[in-house]
Amino acid sequence: MIAALGLLVGILLGLIFQPDVPPSLEVYLPIAVVAALDAVLGGLRAYLDGIFDDKVFVVSFLSNVFIAAAIVYLGDLLGVGGQLTTGVIVVLGIRIFSNVAAIRRHLFHA
């Protein structure tokens, strides 16, 4: 309940204020979103499994976002930003898919 409320409030805040992202950080925003999505879906799956823990969720969320952005930043410094972004997206994408599959099993029993 609190989670759904928080998501709604966050989306509304973002739409209302529409903060300007500095151009230097603009590159890391999409990868941060994907990493956050992974953490959120992982949390949702854990919740449905009955093993959700707030502390783990918060830490995994922050570390996911930070590490994903850091990897891309490092890749940019080394001149392989595009390739590393692809790698991160692939790994996170696979995790997202398997988490969503687990959630689906829980919700629809199929």
Partner 1 sequence: MADKPDRRLPEHVTTPLLSLITHQALEEDYRSVAERRAREGAAPEPRRSRVVAGAVIAVFGILISVAAVQNSRNEEVSDAGRATLIERIGESRSGLEDRQARIADLTRENLELSDSLTELATVRQEAVSQMRRLQLGAGYLPATGEGVRVLVNDNPTGDPIQRVTDADLAKLVDGLWEAGAEAIAINDQRLNPLGSIRNVGSAIHVNTFPLTPPYIVRAIGDTRTLQANLLNTTHGARFFSLADQLGFEYSVDRVSELELPAARQRPLSEVVTGTAEQRGDRGVEEDSS
**Shortest Å, Cβ 54 to partner 1:** 4
Please say which residue, 59 or 74, places its beta carbon nearer to partner 1: 59
CA quadruple 106, 104, 90, 13: dihedral positive or negative? negative
- For partner 1, how many residues bind (rule: CB under 8 A)? 50
Q: Are 21 and 29 in contact (CB under 8 A)?
A: yes
What mask of x and - would describe binding to partner 1 in positions 4 to 33, judged by CB under 8 A? -xxxxxxxxxxx--xx-x----x--xx-xx
**Alpha helices by DSSP H, 1-110:** 2-17, 23-26, 28-49, 54-78, 81-108
**Contact criterion met (CB below 8 Å) for 57 and 39:** yes
Residues near partner 1, by CB under 8 A:
2-3, 5-15, 18-19, 21, 26, 29-30, 32-33, 36-37, 39-40, 42-43, 45-46, 49-62, 65, 91, 94-95, 98-99, 102
